[in-house]
Amino acid sequence: MSMKKVMVIGAGQMGSGIAQVHAMAGIDVILHDLKQEFVERGMATIQKNLNRQVEKGRLEEGERDAILGRLTTSTDLQNAKDVDLVIEAAVENMEIKSKLFADLDQIAPDHAILATNTSSLPITEIAAATNRPEKVIGMHFMNPVPVMKLVEIIRGLATTDEVYQAIEDLSRTLSKTPVEVNDFPGFVSNRILMPMINEAIYTVYEGVATPEAVDEVMKLGMNHPMGPLTLADFIGLDTCLYIMETLHDGFGDDKYRPCPLLRKYVKAGWLGKKTGRGFYVYE
C-alpha cells in the first residue's frame, strides 16, 4: 500500500502539523477545512515553521519551496476522490466524526485508508459509520506534530493487519515512532496523562498548593519538562475536560471524574493559552 497522496481534514494546530510532516516526507498533501480562511491560516503556520527551519540552517530554501509545492488546499470534500489515505483531525466530537467518515466512505476510492487523529474516541465506533471498517484506523499524533516522535496506532475491531502495517510503515517514513495500542477510552497517552492533570487540578482545588507550586514539584521532582497545569493550559482546558468525560463515560469509574474546578474554568471561558487565561495568565 503506497501512500502517494494524502488528505488531512482540519487545518488547525494538529492538522497543519500532520500535513507538514507528510509533505516533508515527499508525499503530496491536500489540506482540507470547512472555510478558505481556515486552510489559509493552516498554510501560514506551515510556512512559518518551515521558514524557521531555513533560518536555523536545518533546511535549504529550495527544500522548503519543494515541501510547500507538495501542499494544496481544499474546502470541498469531493477532493478526497483520488487519495490513498485520509487523516481526520477535526473537532473531538463523535457525531461530527461519524458523519465525516460516512461521507468519506462514499467519496474516497475503495483502496483508501481512513484514519482518525482522535485522542480518546473509540475507533470501532467511528469505523461503524463506514462500509469499510477494516480500512479504518487510529493515528494519534502528539502536539506539536513536527517535533514529537510518537504516533499511537489504534486498531478498530475490524482493522486488518495489512492496514495496520501500512500505517506503521508510513509513520516510520515520517520519522515517527509508531506504538501499537488497543481500542480503549483514552488509549495509553490520555488514559495516563489526563488523570494526572485532573489530580493536579484537584490539588489546587483543595488548597494543597498553588498552580506554580504544583508545576514546580513535577518539574524538579519528577523531571517533567513542563508542569501538568502549564501543559493543561497548552492543551486547552476544554479539551482536557472533554477527554476526562470520555474516560468517565467509557469506564464508569469515579477515578476519572473531572475536577469541579476544571468544569468551572471551562464554563468561565478560561480555556488556557488560546484564550489568554487558564491556570496562568498569558499576554
* 94 known ligand binder: no
Cis bond upstream, residue 109 (ω within 30): no
* 82 known ligand binder: no
Q: Which three cell numbers, joined as nine digits, stand for 246?
A: 470520555
* 143 known ligand binder: yes
* 79 known ligand binder: no
* 165 known ligand binder: no
| Residues noted as catalytic | 119, 140, 152, 190
* 119 known ligand binder: yes
* 10 known ligand binder: yes
Displacement of CA 38 from its chain's centroid (Å): 17
* 33 known ligand binder: yes
DSSP 185: T
Distance CA 148, CA 176 (A): 8
Burial class (CB in 10 A: 0-12, 13-18, 19+), 61: exposed
* 5 known ligand binder: no
What 3-state class would DSSP assign to 178?
Answer: strand
Query: Taken in order 57, 32, 118, 171, is the CA torsion positive or negative?
Result: negative
Distance CA 172, CA 149 (A): 10
Alpha-carbon distances, residue 236 vs 9, 187, 233, 249, 269 (angstroms): 20, 19, 5, 20, 11
* 61 known ligand binder: no
* 128 known ligand binder: no
Q: Which residues are annotated as a binding site for NAD(+)?
A: 10-15, 33, 92, 97, 119, 143, 274
Q: Which residues are annotated as a binding site?
A: 10-15, 33, 92, 97, 119, 143, 274
